[in-house]
Amino acid sequence: MDKEKRKELEEKGFQIGSAAEFLGLTPEEEAFIEIRLELSSLIKSRRNKLGWTQQQLATAIGSSQSRIAKMEAGDSGITLDLMIKTLLKLGVSKQEIGKLLEGNLEMV
């Protein structure tokens, strides 16, 4: 089952609802985490594609390298707001973000 997955998520700091503690994540919890992971994944691949370091990206959005690292690691304690702002700064359009969530974006 998802014991391994859950352990991984909890290490990243996610708080899993008690009802899901033994029965697995609710579909909503799953979808929410999927969205986060897909966004962070796109951040990493787009940054690499542009050849930027984490420090360069951090400066571009007025943040710090450590925060970029946490974003790309899918860590909790990072808001979707920060991820979306970062993606936009990387040149990813609203439409591309939409495609990503639909499952229609090849991230290269």
| Tokens representing residue 68 in the block | 């970029």
**Which parts of the chain are beta strand (E)?**
none
Say if CB 107 and CB 96 are below 8 A apart. no
* DSSP characters over 61-89: HT--HHHHHHHHTT-SS--HHHHHHHHHH
Q: Which stretch binds a second copy (CB under 8 A): 6-14, 44-52, 63-71, 77-85?
A: 77-85
37 binds, among a second copy, DNA, none (CB under 5 to 8 A by kind): none
For residue 97, the minimal CB distance to DNA (Å) is: 17
Using rule CB under 8 A, residue 19 touches a second copy: no
Between CA 106 and CA 73 the distance in angstroms is 20
Q: Which residues bind DNA (CB under 7 A)?
A: 15, 48, 53-55, 58, 61-67, 69-70, 72-73, 76-79, 81-82
Q: Which residues bind a second copy (CB under 8 A)?
A: 27-28, 31-32, 34-35, 79-81, 84-85, 88-89, 93-95, 97-104
